[in-house]
Structure 1
Amino acid sequence: MMFRFGLLLAIAALLAGCAAAPPQAAVSMGYGIFAEPGLRLGVAMSKLPQVDTSFPGADWPLSRAAATVANAALTAHTRTLAAEELLRMKAEIAEALKLRGQLPVVIDEPIVLDQLPKASGKGRNAAARNYASLQSRYQLDKLLVVELTEIGITRPYSSYIPTGEPKGIVSGAVYIVNFKDNTYEWYQPVMQQKSALGNWDEAPAFPGLSNAFYQALDGAREAILRALAR
């Protein structure tokens, strides 16, 4: 009976893995992307995710529950940290685009990507969502999106056992969509992880990890702006 139950769980995990879409590969920024001056290029950000902890590797319900209990104080502190400073990136990106000869249009409200229709296009660089509503609303030629999917503190696990120290994390992607064919002209994954200097386990304030968290925010911001700089 236990063998059969374990087999069913293994099959379910395999099917879930098969159903997951492959991650979008990076698309390098070619020279031609800014060759035509004066394009109206929208600058948008997705809604920031909740600042929280994550425990990759603790994938089953019981191991996830154990990791949650063991790191309860860290999670409570992590949820008090603020990531709003990332929002200033839109204005900084707009300045970088001006230096590239473009006409940036900053979109103030966050984009809720799940509310945009899925794109019907196929192919390696086809955008996952259809952004036509933003094109018509803001009269855009192209759209730059900063899409952040995880902000907080992460700690790796192997089932019930932590395999490393917690780190500040910011992950997601930044990309430019060409409305002519709804494809990514540029797609750069964003991944910043920063370790605490010295001892990290200093509850309840966790000063070392708090500093690592803000270093991860700065690292993500700098990586995006550096890629857009002349």
Structure 2
Amino acid sequence: MKAIKLIFVAALTVFLAACGSTPQPTVQLQKQLLNAEKRVGIYVDVINEPTTNIYGAGCLLCYGVAVAANSSLSKHLESLPTSDIESSKQILLEGYKAKTGSVEFIELTEQEFKKLKKFKGELGYAKKDFRSLKESKNIDVLVVLDIATHGAYRGYTNYIPNTDPQGYVRGLVYSVDLETNQYLQYLELDKKIVVDGEWDEPKQQFPGVTNAYYQAVEQVKETINKIFL
């Protein structure tokens, strides 16, 4: 069942990528718009367990073969704790505490997200209309940390792997002014770390991939910290 779900997600990702528009460029933190009176709410999306992320297997059958071929590595990665990557949220908390007077973590339910309408704005504005959260959450700035995928990256050409597994973290971190729905900060996170030495030794422990994954996590945390420098 899990393999079927992964195949569906991969197909959907390929379709959405083909339909994508101009990507949102990086926005450096607009520090001048933050002050002691601003109330900041930090939302951390659900961080799933790490796994092997397959890219380039161009058909559903190809993807299924790739998932099966990497099942031992995925099982190992899925056994790792998520506490290290989850600690990224503390970096955001401390960073905004140094810039504003009121910072807290907030929760958003799936239903609350569904109620948010699309925002018809140009680049530099959030795609969802977050402005209603100003009143409902009693905040002026929404900060979002979204770790979309993490664990290992492996590239394929149809059935054939064209890269060894690499340590991998991909996601987004951004902040939105809830008066205008404009980004105060926007950054894509995309870290890949090549494994040092053989990636599949010793049997089913994958120390090289594990180490590369934790290096990618540390680099992402360093990148998040640099937002406030």
Task: Give the shorter-chain TM-score range.
Answer: 0.7 to 0.9
Are residues 1:73 and 2:76 paired?
no
1:215 counterpart letter in structure 2 = Q
Are residues 1:211 and 2:211 paired?
yes
Equivalent runs, 1:20-169 vs 2, <5 Å = 20-34=20-34, 36-107=35-106, 109=107, 112=110, 115=114, 117-169=116-168
Q: Give the aligned partner of residue 7 of structure 1.
A: none
2:169 counterpart letter in structure 1 = V
Q: Give the aligned partner of residue 172 of structure 2.
A: 173
Distance change in 2, residues 1:15/1:211 (3 Å)? closer
Are residues 1:196 and 2:195 paired?
yes
- SS in structure 2 opposite 1:187? strand
C-alpha separation between the residues in 1 aligned to 2:22 and 2:48?
22
Post-superposition CA distance 1:24-66 (Å, at most 9, x none):
22222334233x3331111121111342211111121121122
Q: Which runs of 5+ in 1 are unaligned?
A: 1-13
Post-superposition CA distance 1:110-155 (Å, at most 9, x none):
6658535232332112212233453223311111111111111111
Distance change in 2, residues 1:111/1:195 (3 Å)? farther
Range that drifts further, 149-158 or 132-141: 132-141
- 8 A contact 2:39–2:100 mirrored in 1: no
C-alpha separation between the residues in 2 aligned to 1:105 and 1:16?
33
RMSD over equivalenced CA pairs, Å: 2.4
Distance change in 2, residues 1:48/1:161 (3 Å)? same
Q: Give the aligned partner of residue 187 of structure 1.
A: 186
1:204 counterpart letter in structure 2 = Q
2:96 counterpart letter in structure 1 = L
User: Percent identity of the aligned residues?
Assistant: 27
- SS in structure 2 opposite 1:37? coil
TM-score using structure 1 length: 0.82
Distance change in 2, residues 1:136/1:162 (3 Å)? same
- SS in structure 2 opposite 1:90? helix
How far the C-alpha of 1:223 sits from its partner, in A, is: 0.8
How far the C-alpha of 1:190 sits from its partner, in A, is: 0.7
Structure with higher Rg: it is: 1
Post-superposition CA distance 1:197-221 (Å, at most 9, x none):
2111123110111111111112111
- 8 A contact 2:49–2:81 mirrored in 1: no
The total of aligned residue pairs comes to 214
Distance change in 2, residues 1:16/1:42 (3 Å)? closer
C-alpha separation between the residues in 1 aligned to 2:31 and 2:56?
40
C-alpha separation between the residues in 2 aligned to 1:147 and 1:227?
15
Range that drifts further, 16-25 or 83-92: 16-25
- 8 A contact 2:40–2:100 mirrored in 1: no
- 8 A contact 1:44–1:111 mirrored in 2: no
- SS in structure 2 opposite 1:131? coil
- SS in structure 2 opposite 1:209? helix
1:158 counterpart letter in structure 2 = T
C-alpha separation between the residues in 1 aligned to 2:194 and 2:15?
35
- 8 A contact 1:153–1:169 mirrored in 2: yes
C-alpha separation between the residues in 2 aligned to 1:110 and 1:75?
29
- SS in structure 2 opposite 1:144? strand
